[in-house]
Structure 1
Amino acid sequence: MKQQVTTLPAEGFVRLNQIIGDKKANPPIPALIPISRSTWLSGVETGRFPKPVRLGKRTVAWRISDIRKLIDEVA
């Protein structure tokens, strides 16, 4: 199976499944940060991970700049 490389655009927003991955998607979405959904949401609540931005009534996303900063801090 070919490994899919995930690259982030320079700016914009990403949804949760783009951050933590989705193996059931077709094609599967590889994780940028390989943790569970509950761990991610708990980290957002405690301030460990960045807060989402509300884009609509039922839509939230995270700024790519915040995710890049988190990855740089962890690395």
Structure 2
Amino acid sequence: MRKLKLIWDFRGPDASKIAEHHEIHLKEYIQSEKLNINITGFEALNDLHCIAFLVVDEDEMKPLRDALKPHRGQVYVP
């Protein structure tokens, strides 16, 4: 089963703090919906661009994409 990484982009001087905080909301959503998702995170791509993400199985992607509205996605490579 292929895994997909759903990504939210944050830019600007506060991008890191915002991405870190967004991951908290992703974890809360996972818990409230009782989803079996174990991989979330945030990372700095540079000083002004950070991302928050979660990794889902491809067959679970569409309802999560529609509910959470990520900015983009890509195939997850561990």
Specify the TM-score bucket, using the shorter chain as the normaliser: 0.3 to 0.5
Structure number with the higher strand fraction is 2
TM-score, normalised relative to structure 2? 0.37
Greater RCO structure (CA 8 Å; 6+ sep): 2
